[in-house]
Amino acid sequence: MNKNIKIGFGCDHGGINLKNKLIEVFKTNYEIKDYGTYTPESTDYPIYAKKVALAVASGEVDRGIICCGSGIGVSIAANKIKGIRAVVCSEATSAKYSRLHNDTNVLCLGERIIGFLLAQDICNIWLETDFEGGRHQKRVDMLNQM
């Protein structure tokens, strides 16, 4: 594990249980910042996806993990912020390749889609896999120009 990675977490009401459980696990080995939501009342996922995405884009944190019901809404929202490459994953292979080839900096998870242990595995692989660079760097540069 890379203890130097600082992770920003966020969620809406649909992802709050998953976010809180993941923070409990990952706070032992990573520096964590929680951007909310903090209560289970219904709220709007773009608010928290934007907070986490801006924190990643500005360098306040290194990576973001955002949870909502499906993972989809927060991924759409996060990808609107320049410099963000967010991926929604429900299995570990996509999480791994999103790091190797796409240098993703935000991981989105759906609390209503996957269980906690799978989410934990996906996070571990995503946090521990480095970007391959090489031929993939040019493509990421192209994304950054868009």
Catalog residues that contact ligand RB5 under the rule CB under 6 A: 12, 14, 45, 68-70, 72-73
Tell me the residue nearest to ligand RB5 as measured from the CB: 73
- Pick the closer one to ligand RB5 by CB: 10 or 30: 10
- Token code pair at residue 87: 């991926």
Minimum CB separation from ligand RB5 for residue 12, in Å?
5
- Pick the closer one to ligand RB5 by CB: 8 or 15: 15
- Pick the closer one to ligand RB5 by CB: 47 or 72: 72
**Mind telling me the catalytic residues?**
68, 101
Q: Which residues pair with 33 in a beta bridge?
A: 8
List CB contacts of 74: < 8 A, sequence separation 6 or more.
Answer: 10, 11, 12, 15, 45, 48, 49, 66, 67, 68, 86, 88, 108
Distance CA 34, CA 46 (A): 15
